[in-house]
Amino acid sequence: MSELSPPPIVIFDLDGTLIDTAPDLIQTLNAILETESIPALAFETARPMIGGGVRPLLEQALAEQGKHPGEAAMDRLFESYIRRYQDHIADYSRPYPGLEGALDRLDADGFTLAVCTNKYEALSLRLLDALGLTSRFAAICGQDTFPMKKPDPETLRLTIARAGGDIARAVMVGDSETDVNVARAAGIPVIGVDFGYTRTPMSDLRPDRLISHFDALPAAVSELLRIPGRA
């Protein structure tokens, strides 16, 4: 590799990929429902609703209870959710097992690391700061960082550019159909994790590689980028 060549890059989704955020997201959801005198949702009912962001989570949770509030009410609930969530963003959220070891290995092997998420950028930074992970990533880009969001492939391209990576040697890691679709549209390979929040099983989405633990990530990245000596 030329010293002037941009480094290879691994781009991660956040919720359900890097961090198990479901406990805090669902606890916040149920707290908001309680303020509206709406019964709480069971954890396993709410968990698959997480992947699309806070507003879709609220909309799906309310629909599950037969509630369909208007736009103004949804705006109010959304704002209440964000206010509460930012104060409880890492009460119970934790990195998935093996994550930090995998990041250590990729960093030692010369990869740039970045985050491309549909969580708001400020919330993403707040979460990763609370968990001591912010410095691991050359760029942390959320749904409001650029004029578009995933699955628009420009979001992924701009994240790679902001991180100083090479799109020709890039791999996406995610847990949902949105992550698979954005990687495909951007023309880069995708590694799916099977422990996230997608309604559709990741195996059915047919990523280029499927992993069940972060211990398998460095080898999967190296195989996809065909980088010898890094498996």
Q: What are phi and psi of 201, to 5 degrees?
A: -55, 135
CATH class, domain 9-20+93-225, is alpha beta
pLDDT of residue 198: 87
The residues that bridge with 193 in the sheet, in sequence order, are 211
pLDDT of residue 226: 84
Average pLDDT, 10 consecutive residues per value, the chain (231 residues): 78 97 97 94 92 88 90 94 96 98 97 96 97 98 96 98 96 96 98 93 96 98 77 42
pLDDT of residue 69: 87
Domain boundaries, the chain: 9-20+93-225, 22-87
The pTM of the full predicted model, rounded to 2 decimals, is 0.92
Q: What is the distance between the alpha carbons of residues 119 and 141, in angstroms, rounded to a whole number?
A: 9
Q: What is the distance between the alpha carbons of residues 202 and 200, in angstroms, rounded to a whole number?
A: 6
pLDDT of residue 212: 98
pLDDT of residue 129: 98
Is 13 in contact with 191 (CB distance < 8 Å)?
A: no
Q: What is the distance between the alpha carbons of residues 122 and 113, in angstroms, rounded to a whole number?
A: 18
pLDDT of residue 105: 97
Q: State the catalytic residues.
A: 13
pLDDT of residue 230: 45
> What is the residue type of 138?
A
pLDDT of residue 231: 42
pLDDT of residue 1: 45
Is 56 in contact with 199 (CB distance < 8 Å)?
A: no
pLDDT of residue 51: 76
**CATH fit for domain 22-87, picks 1.10.150.240, 3.40.50.2300, 1.10.3720.10, 1.20.120.1780:** 1.10.150.240
Burial 196-228 (b: 16+ CB within 10 A, else e): bbbeeebeebebbbbbeebebbbebbbbbbebe
Q: What is the distance between the alpha carbons of residues 112 and 103, in angstroms, rounded to a whole number?
A: 10
